[in-house]
Amino acid sequence: MDNNHNVTKLHKLENPLNELLKQGTQQLLAQAIEAEIQSLLDNFKSLQTNERMRVVRNVHLPKRYLQTRLYAITVKILKV
């Protein structure tokens, strides 16, 4: 048996449609999270101490990863 062969390992090609779907999913999720946070802030707008808002935006929590059927996406959630 001859071990000299011309076999080349193929690399998996990325599908442009999958990348588009991934970016769209991330954007929609970011918009949904933003709307949820804005709704929460609006609901507690009247809650104040010494003329300062009690419920405010803060820093982002560490990035989280969501696994979908096709890919993993990154999610940034604002700490309130």
What is d(CA 51, CA 18) in angstroms, rounded to the nearest whole number? 49
pLDDT for the residue 35: 92
Q: Which two tokens stand for residue 33?
A: 């999270």
| CA distance readout (Å), 64 to 45, 53, 73 | 28, 28, 8
pLDDT band for position 80 (cuts 50, 70, 90): confident
Please give the share of the chain, as a percent, with pLDDT higher than 90.
Answer: 8
Kindly report, residue by residue over 35-57, the tens digit of the pLDDT: 998 898 888 888 777 777 778 77
Q: Tell me the C-alpha distance between 53 and 45, whole Å.
A: 7
Tokens matching residue 55: 């419920």
| Cβ-contact 22, 73 below 8 angstroms | yes
Question: Looking at the predicted structure, is the pLDDT value of residue 2 above 60?
Answer: no
